[in-house]
Structure 1
Amino acid sequence: MNIKKIIAPSMPAAMKKVKDELGDNAVILNSKVVYHGGFLGMFRKKKIEVIAALDEIAVQPKQKTKLKKRKLPDNSHTETIKKETKHVESIARSNRENRDIMSEMAEIKRELTSVRHHHLNIQSYPEYIQSCLLQLHEAELNEKYVQELGDIMLEKWRNASSQPTKQDVISWCNEIIVDQLTTFNFEGIDYSKKYINLVGPTGVGKTTTIAKLAAEAMLEQNKRVAFITLDTYRIAAIEQLKTYAQLLNIPIEVVYKQEDFSAAMDKFADFDLVLIDTAGRNYRELVFVDELKNTFNEVNMATFLVLSISMREKDMGEIVENFQQLNIDQFIFTKIDETQSYGAMFNLIKKYEKGVAYITTGQDVPDDILTASPEIIANYLLGDEKP
């Protein structure tokens, strides 16, 4: 790992030197105020000392594998034919083995499906309801909720005046899901709060989501928007948001300490909306959540917890638990295009009684974002991904 000590007159100047010397993938390990020069302890100049590092293993290019040329002996033609014959026989043998494995896997899948049916106890439902419940189970909806939905649909089935169709059952299920979600807040930004804070673990797409929200606020709501970023952990994160700010013609302030945050709020006092990007860290460790809480203090803001649906639900639940002290207003679910495990959205909403502000469907700014609604989530759960 390449480690360097940088000394500069200010933090922004230090960050620029880090970027120039180590590149966008540099990581800030430590920073502190130091004093230089002076005479007899007086007139010393305050400077910023930053310890930065670059993980060379992570950024080194992959080496190309070179194939060595081998000289064939005089009987190379005969030997080549023998080798090719063995190769063909090996492929044929491998294909037979693969067919056997695929057949075994298909049998195991059928057995697992049967076990799931038994475990879910759905055989007592009519076939159309069973099919709907299996769809929800495949989307990884919590089994408790699957059973509840099945019981409600069964009641509707028994009270139907005529023989229900498959489409009737799907419509019932859709209506029940929507009804159970309407008690939660599904509004996007309502602009009653000027400061919108996005928090969440690393890699969930907070910075890209902020750019999408800024574009929507400017283009559709005609709002004056500004950016504040607390993500000074990685140089690349700052540069990414600065690029979006330049493209959207939005001012941006980089916050290194509490005083910077207060100054940034004062600077953007006349703006309609200030979107705050925070560092992606391992928020299973509560110390990072405490840092955010101390930074924001008593600021009147809306806080959105950004979670990638491609994450394991257990991991998402642990992150939600740790962020509870920040008074999360709503979820933002990202990367829904990278998974089919849509049930986690419903499970987390019900468990933590939090609504959803937005769902992102890709990387394109500003297009790949939806204002969330119970209807959209129901569509995803039932296999109709069109909002």
Structure 2
Amino acid sequence: MELKTYQARSMSDALARVKRELGKGAMILHTRTIRRGGILGIGARTFVEITATADPKVIAARSGAGRPDELRAGVPAGSSAPVQGRVAAAYGIEKPAPAAGGPGIPQSAASTGAPHDIREDLLAIRGMVRDLLLQNDPARPADVPEELIEHYTRMISHEVARGLVMEIIDRVRPRLGESEAPMDGEDRETRSQGVSAENVREELLRYIGESLPPAAPLQLVNENRPTIVALVGPTGVGKTTTLAKLAAHMKLREGRSVGLITIDSYRIAAVEQLKTYAQIMQIPLIPVTSPAEMGDAIRRLSSVDLILIDTAGRSQKDDPRIAELRTYLAAAVPDQVHLVLSTTASEAAIRQAIEKFSVLGARQLIFTKLDEAVGFGVILNVLRSFDLRLSYLTTGQAVPDDIEVGSARRVAELILSPGVTPAGPPAETPGSHASLPNRAAAAQGV
């Protein structure tokens, strides 16, 4: 008996190797997913493993016996054809047919020679791949509706809390008619086929959006004095770059007068970076080294529309430094305090940062580095756990681009996305004054 095992990162790659090495007559005997590499399971990668053969004796024995251990994931209701035959056919691997009317092929198909429907082949492939992805998820409830399994998997892959995932599934299910019992003679699969994939996704987007507070981007709230906005957060989250993006946007696209204050005297590079931005945009920048100097700096910038304050990064575990930062902000009396957090941090670290920085009066969140994140579920988890509102999302280093208003709809799109590389913010037409803050009106809804 000649059996060969192939491993690849995806089912299509593994099947291509089977076809290339064993030919079109190969038979798939077994599939499974495995994890390799990493240390103690951390960093391990998932591979698809296929056991196949081109041995005529094995093929004849398997085809004639209809063994129960043949792979049958994704077989449409009422069909007795083994799924590996359809999968093999879809990838150009021909499975030898048993005798007419024999086990594994309906007699009508054997006698007429009618080819399998392509749609059935695709459904079989999709079902097998889905099952391979989910078979190592023992926590998945058995009653997740068929049309929601793909979205369930995506949300789990983005590390949305399982409780939230099931809440979303349970709330959207009635909107799809899933709560009603099937009529006589109507099975669950038949009912689910009546709901389009577009409708399913739209219902999920709508519910997730409705469950989140509206976005709260920067707003100019004062007419006779500057609006003062401070950005705070842990070290290395991108506060200075984000502040430069907001300043450039308000100055260059909104035509507003802007002034900058930095109290990040601990990092010379950060001050020099902000100074460079300020010189390019012709914006005044005032370094402040003590709370006593903050009031004077505010007075010197009293003629501008907006004052943006860049603060030094503070570890959420450094209570004395956070308390020191609080004295600076008490002297500035900001109208808004935005807590800047990186989506690359662990959820535990993000939650701790929110709790520790709450003493600074932060009521809005900015999530940065979406282009480096391994998942976006933390955004939803946090917004549903704390009384805070999302203001912005950033995806890169470009100033004033790579930033967008963090609408509830956008968060929903991120956690339902098949991958973890977000599309950048909407492109602006050169010379256009359509702005981030002015897009807030659209972001107030979902």
With the length of structure 2 as denominator, give the TM-score of the two structures: 0.60
- Over 3 Å counting, the alpha-carbon distance change for 1:337 and 1:100 in structure 2 is closer
| 1:106 and 2:47 matched | yes
RMSD: 2.6
With the length of structure 1 as denominator, give the TM-score of the two structures: 0.69
Contact persistence 2:230–2:334 (CA under 8 A): no
Pick the aligned partner of 1:173 from 204, 224, 240.
204
Residue in 2 aligned with 1:270? 303
The alpha-carbon deviation at position 101 of structure 1 amounts to 5.6
Find the residue that maps to 2:398 and give its secondary structure.
coil
Residue in 1 aligned with 2:262? 229
Gaps of 5+ in 1: 1-98
- Over 3 Å counting, the alpha-carbon distance change for 1:105 and 1:143 in structure 2 is closer
**Deviation readout 1:59-89 (Å, 9 max, x if unpaired):** xxxxxxxxxxxxxxxxxxxxxxxxxxxxxxx
The alpha-carbon deviation at position 248 of structure 1 amounts to 0.7
**Deviation readout 1:77-105 (Å, 9 max, x if unpaired):** xxxxxxxxxxxxxxxxxxxxxx9968x95
Separation in structure 1 between the aligned mates of residue 363 and residue 144 of structure 2, nearest angstrom = 38
Contact persistence 1:309–1:335 (CA under 8 A): yes
Percent identity for Structure 1 against Structure 2: 32
Residue in 2 aligned with 1:252? 285
Separation in structure 1 between the aligned mates of residue 368 and residue 288 of structure 2, nearest angstrom = 25
**Deviation readout 1:314-357 (Å, 9 max, x if unpaired):** 11111101011112121001000111410111111111121111
The alpha-carbon deviation at position 114 of structure 1 amounts to 2.2
Pick the aligned partner of 2:218 from 172, 189, 199.
189
More moved, 241-250 vs 166-175: 166-175
**Residue pairs, 1:90-239, within 5 angstroms:** 106=47, 113-116=134-137, 118-121=138-141, 123-158=142-177, 163-181=194-212, 184-192=213-221, 194-239=227-272
Separation in structure 2 between the aligned mates of residue 119 and residue 171 of structure 1, nearest angstrom = 26
Give the letter for the 2:364 counterpart.
Q
- How many residues were matched structurally? 285
The alpha-carbon deviation at position 126 of structure 1 amounts to 2.0
**Deviation readout 1:265-322 (Å, 9 max, x if unpaired):** 1100111100000001222221121111112216142000000101111111111010
| 1:373 and 2:407 matched | yes
Pick the aligned partner of 1:383 from 417, 420, 424.
417
Separation in structure 1 between the aligned mates of residue 214 and residue 230 of structure 2, nearest angstrom = 17
Contact persistence 1:226–1:274 (CA under 8 A): yes
Contact persistence 1:212–1:366 (CA under 8 A): yes
- Over 3 Å counting, the alpha-carbon distance change for 1:101 and 1:377 in structure 2 is closer
Structure richer in helix, relative to its length: 1
More moved, 339-348 vs 194-203: 339-348
Residue in 2 aligned with 1:280? 313
| 1:336 and 2:356 matched | no
